[in-house]
Structure 1
Amino acid sequence: MIVGVGADLCDIRRIQDSLDRFGDRFKLRCFTEIERIRSDRKPDAAWSYAKRFAAKEACAKALGTGMRRDVYWKDMGVVNLPSGRPTLALTGHAAQHLRRLTPPGHEATVHLTLSDEHPYALAFVVIEALPVTK
């Protein structure tokens, strides 16, 4: 069962401007350590940061909170599964909201897809609740 859907389109140039203007302050406020390490290794780090920024916005929409109601940027982090597929790891209040959305006897799975075509980065999130099998 689908319990949440969110999408976001982010302008890579806007993220580049934030990186140029605020540097580490912007990175430390909005991104997890894993996201910073991965993005900073890329030749065009702004593209990577923009996709992750869009993923956080899309996730907040899928949670039904937006970037309010005590959900913070670093409560949502893009991580890659061993297969390389991206997903979101939720902590703090974002994880609490996810638990509230998940019906009893179900387990939540967060699906994430990322794309970019300069000057835009796109993220789409689907939160699915699957019955727990015993």
Structure 2
Amino acid sequence: MIIGLGSDLCNIERIQASLDRFGARFEQRVFTEVELARAARRPFTRAGTLAKRFAAKEAFSKAVGTGFRDGVFMRDIGVVNAASGAPTLALTGGAKARLDALTPPGHGARIHLTMTDDHPWAQALVVIEAYPDAIE
């Protein structure tokens, strides 16, 4: 069953402006080391790479119904790749706690994430699915 749905549209030029104005302070406040390392490998599309991840964080915060309050912080939401290569989210801190609280007893949670960009826009969609734990 679907327990959360969120989407976000982000302007890549706005992210570039924040990078230009605030530099490392903005990067460290918003992005994980894994996300920054991926963006560093893409110097010509760095802002777009980070904008997609920014949108994914916003989409997750909407999917869990909190926005960035109640202990949910941007750095607690990290975009990673599953073994298949598909993007997904790695959660820590308040973001993980909120997802755990939202997940019904006897269920696990699976996060589905899709991201895209077409300058000047980046978009992300998050679907959170609850599935019954295996009965042993």
- TM-score, normalised to structure 2, is 0.96
Q: Secondary structure at the match of 1:97?
A: helix
Question: Counterparts of 1:80-119 in structure 2 under 5 Å?
Answer: 80-119=81-120
The residue type paired with residue 129 of structure 1 is A
Q: Which residue is 1:39 aligned to? A: 39
Q: Which residue is 2:9 aligned to? A: 9
Instruction: Please report how far the alpha carbon of residue 23 of structure 1 lies from its aligned counterpart in structure 2 after TM superposition.
Output: 1.1
Q: Which residue is 1:73 aligned to? A: 74
Q: Where has structure 1 moved over 2 Å in runs of 4 or more?
A: none
Structure 1: state its 5+ residue gaps.
none
Instruction: Please report how far the alpha carbon of residue 112 of structure 1 lies from its aligned counterpart in structure 2 after TM superposition.
Output: 0.2
Deviations 1:38-96 (A, max 9, x none): 11111210000000000000000001101112210101000001111000011101101
Q: Secondary structure at the match of 1:65?
A: coil
Instruction: Please report how far the alpha carbon of residue 22 of structure 1 lies from its aligned counterpart in structure 2 after TM superposition.
Output: 1.0
For residues 99 and 70 of structure 1, the distance between their equivalents in structure 2, rounded to whole angstroms, comes to: 13
Larger mean Cα displacement after TM superposition, 65-74 or 3-12: 65-74
- TM-score, normalised to structure 1, is 0.98
Q: Which residue is 2:55 aligned to? A: 54
Q: CA RMSD in A?
A: 0.7
Q: Which residue is 2:25 aligned to? A: 25
Structure 2: state its 5+ residue gaps.
none
What percent of counterpart residues are identical? 60
Paired positions, count: 134
